[in-house]
């Protein structure tokens, strides 16, 4: 059971990556619950899908268009699960050079009435530069 929750969440993480990397911010926002809380560094908490979509669009507009996420740990109980993970966010400059920002994050996942796991809380911060 716990293993199947982890598998379900890792599958959602792959969908998140794909939406982000394809630049489909509406699809990305739809992975969150309607009342989700996004907690970016140096920002107040951002609530709800329209504002979350706008936030991720601003990240893409700043040139950060590729993400790779790596789940480290999932704990679950009933319709609630927590994911501890790392991510690498990559920006490509106009001249084709890239820079990658290593992040770590915690997502609170909620399994909603339709059986789908969605991000209810999403918080991250920086790792030391490598």
Tell me the closest approach of the beta carbon of residue 11 to its own copies, in angstroms.
21
Please identify which residue in 21, 60, 71, 82 interacts with its own copies, judged by CB under 8 A.
82
Largest CA distance in the chain: 49
Cα torsion angle, 29, 57, 72, 122, sign: negative
Please identify which residue in 1, 3, 4, 44 interacts with its own copies, judged by CB under 8 A.
44
Q: Is 121 in the site for its own copies (CB under 8 A)?
A: yes
Task: Tell me phi and psi for residue 2, to 5 degrees.
Answer: -55, -40
Count other C-beta atoms under 10 Å from residue 80's C-beta. Answer: 13
Residues that bind its own copies (CB under 8 A): 37, 39-45, 73, 75-80, 82, 84, 104-106, 108, 110, 120-121, 123-128
């Amino acid at each position: 059971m716990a293993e199947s929750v982890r598998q379900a969440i890792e599958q959602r993480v792959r969908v998140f990556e794909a939406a982000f990397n394809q630049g489909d911010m509406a699809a990305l926002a739809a992975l969150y619950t309607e009342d989700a809380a996004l907690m970016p560094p140096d920002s107040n908490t951002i609530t709800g899908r329209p504002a979350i979509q706008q936030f991720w669009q601003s990240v893409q507009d700043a040139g950060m268009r590729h993400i790779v996420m790596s789940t480290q740990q999932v704990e679950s109980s009933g319709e609630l699960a927590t994911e501890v993970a790392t991510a690498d966010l990559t920006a490509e400059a106009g001249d084709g050079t890239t820079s990658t920002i290593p992040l770590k994050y915690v997502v609170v996942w909620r399994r909603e009435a339709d059986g789908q796991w969605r991000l209810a809380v999403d918080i991250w911060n920086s790792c030391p530069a490598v």
